[in-house]
Amino acid sequence: MSLDDLAIEYRGELPTAQEFERLFRSSGWTEAFTVPADRLEAALPSAWYAVCARRGGEAVGTGIVLSDGVLHALIVDVIVMPEMRGHGIGTEIMRRLVARCQEAGVLQVQLFSARGKRDFYERLGFVVRPDDGPGMELSGPP
């Protein structure tokens, strides 16, 4: 099946809370994070920009950018429904997210991605930070 056969429409919009919950739960991330539906919904208004991929009006993929609009942008929650993967949907979502950051002149675009997806993002021009480079995460409660 080609991407043309899928009739995917890409919109610069957030998925609805229900769509986001369905996408998030399909990602496998719930193995690492137990997140109630109301907490997932609360994350959506923080988006600076988002892309929602739709097929027949149904959300089949999304990606979100958190940003100050000038210095930093962080791409998060790039998700494509498992049955829709491998057709270029994630690549197109990423292309649109990065293009929006570049159009705005954001100086640094960073990425938070799931384990095992490194090759996908490297093909799109992202590089792994060096061991002594910037970027860390909090290992537990402060």
Task: Walk me through the domains of the chain, giving residue ranges and CATH numbers.
Answer: 3-123 (3.40.630.30)
pLDDT (tens digit per residue) in 76-135: 999 999 999 999 999 999 999 999 999 999 999 999 988 889 999 999 999 988 888 777
Sheet bearing 49-55, strands edge to edge = 8-11, 49-55, 58-67, 72-80, 108-111
Q: What is the pTM of this model?
A: 0.88
Rounded average pLDDT over 29-41: 77
What percentage of the chain's residues is helix, strand, coil (to nearest 5)? 35, 25, 40
Predicted local distance difference test score (pLDDT) of residue 91: 97
Candidates 105, 110, 55; CA nearest to 78 is 110
Instruction: Compute the distance between CA of residue 56 and CA of residue 8 in angstroms, rounded to an integer.
Output: 8
Residue with tokens 């490194």, as numbered in its chain = 118
pLDDT (tens digit per residue) in 17-28: 999 999 998 987
